Structure 1
């Protein structure tokens, strides 16, 4: 996110240098120096802006962000001053020439002083990063260490007991029927939905179904994730296939992709196989690995889980391929799952009357997201079953999501979608934190606000609002933004909103976005900086 802010400021500086070079005069070189320093900082931020940072780098990044905002404010002040000066010249001509000159010199001197101060500040920030060893490689090592210490909370989805499954029974049975159906050409089923909605749980329950186990000659489960190695994945597929058949693995002393793909194709050509690729983030993955899965006519099946509609569509290459959009739990199923988790050890799994209203509010906050319902319900199962304890959690849910060990898995899993965003989309997504809870905004208004904030990058031959429309569509396809249908025209998406828990993640990153727009909603006026 900070890299986005710096990129916007660098772009403004370039435009300022190009269009105002004759007027900058004494401060021209200072502005050029600031631009050069920020560009070198920007290259580092592209790496560190992708995940969790250690405390020292967080402070440094915060300083860079604040410096960037300061520069932006000074640029705006300078541009406004020059516009006022030109305006005065066009009306007053040469009248009061000396008085105007004095009025011009003082603001220009103030701005020049501020620019020089900024130049010193930016250089100090850069020197501080070098002094404390904040480099891309160092941060990469830090992230690797963090990855070792952090156990992926999604692992739990692979080991949910059958009696804990709620709300996906009909979908599970539907997918099982598809898997064991009549023999046909190899086909693909993409299961798509936002993070935490239960894609992995559903795929695992289908994969472990006894009918499925007996139907296929070989089964393979691969967890892909954001960082993957194609060679290791191909090797893992080979290992699982041979181990399942207790066949001696042929000696493979190469990690060459073509050799591994050829080996897999050779073995699978005459087999009825099922392969699950869980948690796919990039189309490039499928573009490579699909060649290892031959189009035989034995009823082979492939299941792909992903958070992206675009990836799901990309994997649909024939009429026999399908996309299943996984929906949030209904209110009834969400309540059933919550009670199972919150009251599993007492009250026979039922909610006491005095806790019903507060529990309903908490479940409503989860908006049918199984990940959140299970985590929050599990936390409440450890607390005393009295209204005061329930109210404490309800009122402090924002802070609990950030620091409570029982709930941080929610934030970490949902944040993966945020960290996967390209930098130009992060500011647009975070802007939803400027809207009230449960508020939906019309598309045209949202796009204009993005443009006004400077979030939209110019594309040759395209109006800014058309580019903004592309950004919005990409956020929708990533299942980060929900499109709401118009009551009058069900073919057109009119309003947009985000999941409440995604909004909590945005608010935890509020300091990363400098919102200047003041929005009016009904009788309420609110400022994104408040």
Structure 2
């Protein structure tokens, strides 16, 4: 696993050499030499990693202590030294250019002898690294590593299975041993034997160990399926195939299935002749081909010409871990994609009992057994493997609890679980190296932690894992990386936003255990978690602190640590906080989200390399002036912190791209103008030319002048601005006109009576989200022209005329919120043919609203309808019966007569109107705080 580390360091070296190419002398020349040496070693790293995984630490080609694992470890540590010396050199150069600002940085460079010139010290370290690399390269010859060109995916362990390979087991499972696949089996059988005569492909997609091959093989062998086809062929693909081998194997199996002789000269045919022969053979037949374990997206192109579409109802089955592989087949074939799900709890329990007990679970083992099954997360392979292991153990609660509590250790050492680890590791091993680093991040977060996309993406960016691409932000590229990991069935989506984008995600618990093993092997991160207590941390690149241990924090070999993540909500040792900038000198990522951190040390600005600082949901009230020295900072997250004013020095941060800073008062009653508090900023804000997201700025501090400065922020994509006065209107409009990339705009007036004119000359062309909380002289003409608008929220606007006529033509609108007298009339009418895509509709505190009418062909896609505290709306709109796709109806603090009219327990005469809606919720305020609600469902025909 050295390839990931070396490849990353090589990228840093290449970037460094590119930036320093104008002065390639001395130290810079030696960096180039290191780069060249690493590139010569990189060619055989894939093979080295493969052998290291199979090496016991001795053995290998050299024997004794010079095993492959030892060699890989030495190379990895040399790579760490290279990364450190690059960062130390950059710090030194920054200090040299501006000695007054970076005087403290000079004192922080690790290993400097006070009497020695730092440039000489760095040069000496580089020379020592070169000597180490030379010895490492020399020792590599004894292992006879196989050289591979390029830096693409690893092919380790992905050849077709042979005897003893755990991937062969699903081919021979008896029908009676298969549990939980009844519904997907019947669905797939129906796809194969039903439908029209057009050639169709059925793809089964899911993570390793989910049972794709088991399911598809039993469908393939189903008697009804067998009778439906003239010939069948089952082919294992994996990654080391050639298309000639597959086609030849396919012909042989067709012939065997039909008791026909194998064509003479089959192996000697050229490619064109072979494809022609396959087409001719299949032309008159209704055939079924099963390609198991497909990894490459272009596999579809390779088989397309051979598998003739003969209008006889032929079918193709494909199993793959990768959704994009399944989707790519649509280019050549009609495709039915079946995304295989984990076993439901009852079936998981049945399978476990079958494997562990050959029947019923003893009463005394039931609780611990259910705990073990839950850890398997519905993964059949895990259930079978762990159940098999437990079947060999004494049936005592002591033995079984030991397995449950030490599952990670069992995965490391127990032969019964070897197959599980190998299967789960294959998808990781197949990743390109930059995605491997991203994947390892999922082991940093605690178990069962919901990982938010934005937080994860920004951490990847700060670490340098995300590559720059033309005309795309780093955050967009990072999101694409996450999508690929999801497509590869490595990451599970936990929560999806309204627009279909992932909001949060997780990995399967057992896959996380495999990742943690790799994290430790790579020295990627030390986990200070409750189940990972260690006295000495040793060499590591990151610290993940979910359980504060003074031993861990004091004994860390800290010189190379690049990132610290805090998940513990306890009090932090003062020595740790105040020693941050002295002890962890090369930090790039510092994440305190949701911790009890109360203050930031004054010397935080000494962390020259810091790119990501997350203080969200902490008790921090102020930032030190030294924040201005963090010249490489890209993300400063202050959401739900108590910071109300930013020091003027922050304007020096020309690389800062993301600055979310606000506090929402969930502890009190709601007020549309005062629920959210923003931040005051000083003049000079226009210097932060890289800013892409800024919310929420308090406009009345600085007034027109600070709004004028916002014009300089040409990269802004998200702007939230509060406490806006009427006199700011013209300059605010002119400023927003300059923001050509703006996608999200949130404007809040300083008082409810403040009228703001926002009639721009032209509409912001890329706007997707618009929040306006202000009295408006009139509806701005540009709003109905926002063709990309997804979310629209209006408050306080006091429109006397129904605004829906203007909004209904917005082609991509998914959510509409009318809040706090946005409309001051008595009747709203949703007309036929409008709001084509609207999914969510929220009408809140419209104090004069008395009735709502909905045409039969309006709001056809609406799924979520919310009424909140509309005191004059005393009868449920009868037209709700027209909303056939409505899934949720929420009634919050609505008049009692309306609620009672739909409550069947009270004989509500209007219950029939809402009886088709799956979920109807009544929420009633019971306290002064924002979340103090009593929740009660109304029974309907779909939830009784």
TM-score of the superposition, structure 2-length normalised? 0.51
CA distance in 2: counterparts of 1:23 and 1:289, whole angstroms: 53
CA contact (8 A) 2:205 2:321 kept: yes
Tell me the equivalent position of 2:283.
Answer: 269
Give the C-alpha shift of residue 12 in structure 1: 2.3
Do structure 1's residue 379 and structure 2's residue 392 form an aligned pair?
A: no
Secondary structure, counterpart of 1:299 in structure 2: coil
Matches within 5 A, 1:54-453: 54=55, 55=57, 56-88=67-99, 106-136=117-147, 151-253=164-266, 254-317=268-331, 320-344=334-358, 349-453=359-463
Tell me the equivalent position of 1:99.
Answer: none
* Cα offsets for 1:266-313 (capped at 9, x unmatched): 111111111111111112222112222111121111111100000100
CA distance in 2: counterparts of 1:468 and 1:365, whole angstroms: 29
Give the C-alpha shift of residue 26 in structure 1: 3.5
CA contact (8 A) 1:47 1:136 kept: yes
Give the C-alpha shift of residue 466 in structure 1: 2.0
Secondary structure, counterpart of 1:447 in structure 2: helix
Q: Please give the root-mean-square deviation of Cα atoms over the aligned residues, in Å.
A: 2.8
* Cα offsets for 1:163-186 (capped at 9, x unmatched): 211110111112112212154111
Secondary structure, counterpart of 2:264 in structure 1: coil
Give the C-alpha shift of residue 363 in structure 1: 0.7
Secondary structure, counterpart of 2:203 in structure 1: strand
Tell me the equivalent position of 2:771.
Answer: none
Give the C-alpha shift of residue 258 in structure 1: 1.9
* Cα offsets for 1:138-182 (capped at 9, x unmatched): xxxxx89x9999821011111111221111011111211221215
CA contact (8 A) 1:50 1:419 kept: no
Give the C-alpha shift of residue 492 in structure 1: 3.2
CA distance in 1: counterparts of 2:419 and 2:565, whole angstroms: 33
Give the C-alpha shift of residue 24 in structure 1: 8.0
CA distance in 2: counterparts of 1:79 and 1:441, whole angstroms: 33
Consecutive unaligned residues of structure 1, counting only runs of 5 or more, are 93-101, 138-142
Distance 1:289 1:318, change over 3 A: closer
CA distance in 2: counterparts of 1:263 and 1:147, whole angstroms: 25
Query: Structure 1 or 2: larger helix share?
Result: 1
Tell me the equivalent position of 1:509.
Answer: 518
Give the C-alpha shift of residue 430 in structure 1: 1.0
CA contact (8 A) 2:13 2:31 kept: yes
Give the C-alpha shift of residue 91 in structure 1: 9.5
Answer 1 or 2: higher relative contact order, Cα 8 Å, separation at least 6: 1
Distance 1:118 1:263, change over 3 A: same
* Cα offsets for 1:83-113 (capped at 9, x unmatched): 2232325799xxxxxxxxx979622222222
Tell me the equivalent position of 2:508.
Answer: 499
CA contact (8 A) 2:95 2:101 kept: no
Secondary structure, counterpart of 2:500 in structure 1: coil
Distance 1:300 1:149, change over 3 A: closer
CA contact (8 A) 1:195 1:307 kept: yes
Secondary structure, counterpart of 1:224 in structure 2: strand
CA contact (8 A) 2:160 2:237 kept: no
Distance 1:257 1:103, change over 3 A: same
Secondary structure, counterpart of 1:322 in structure 2: strand
Distance 1:15 1:292, change over 3 A: closer
Larger radius of gyration: 2
Query: Which stretch of structure 1 is more off in the superposition, 292-301 or 363-372?
Result: 292-301
Tell me the equivalent position of 1:473.
Answer: 483
Distance 1:252 1:150, change over 3 A: closer
CA contact (8 A) 1:449 1:517 kept: no
CA distance in 2: counterparts of 1:91 and 1:60, whole angstroms: 38
CA distance in 2: counterparts of 1:67 and 1:327, whole angstroms: 43
Give the C-alpha shift of residue 20 in structure 1: 4.3
Give the C-alpha shift of residue 131 in structure 1: 4.4
CA contact (8 A) 1:286 1:315 kept: yes
CA distance in 2: counterparts of 1:401 and 1:91, whole angstroms: 48
CA contact (8 A) 1:328 1:367 kept: yes
Distance 1:489 1:22, change over 3 A: closer
CA distance in 2: counterparts of 1:273 and 1:147, whole angstroms: 23
CA distance in 2: counterparts of 1:80 and 1:313, whole angstroms: 47
CA distance in 1: counterparts of 2:161 and 2:184, whole angstroms: 35
Distance 1:158 1:419, change over 3 A: same
Distance 1:18 1:181, change over 3 A: closer
Matches within 5 A, 1:510-525: 510=519, 511-512=521-522, 513=524, 514-515=541-542, 516-521=562-567, 523=569
* Cα offsets for 1:59-93 (capped at 9, x unmatched): 2111111100111112112211222232325799x
Give the C-alpha shift of residue 16 in structure 1: 3.1
Consecutive unaligned residues of structure 2, counting only runs of 5 or more, are 58-66, 104-112, 149-155, 525-540, 543-561, 577-586, 591-944
CA contact (8 A) 2:301 2:332 kept: no
Tell me the equivalent position of 1:11.
Answer: 11
Runs ≥4 residues deviating over 6 A: 21-24, 146-150, 524-529
Secondary structure, counterpart of 1:316 in structure 2: helix
* Cα offsets for 1:307-340 (capped at 9, x unmatched): 0000100112478421000000111111111111
Query: Structure 1 or 2: larger strand share?
Result: 2
CA distance in 2: counterparts of 1:151 and 1:444, whole angstroms: 43
Distance 1:25 1:233, change over 3 A: closer
Query: Which stretch of structure 1 is more off in the superposition, 477-486 or 3-12?
Result: 3-12
Secondary structure, counterpart of 1:71 in structure 2: helix
Task: Give aligned pairs, total.
Answer: 509
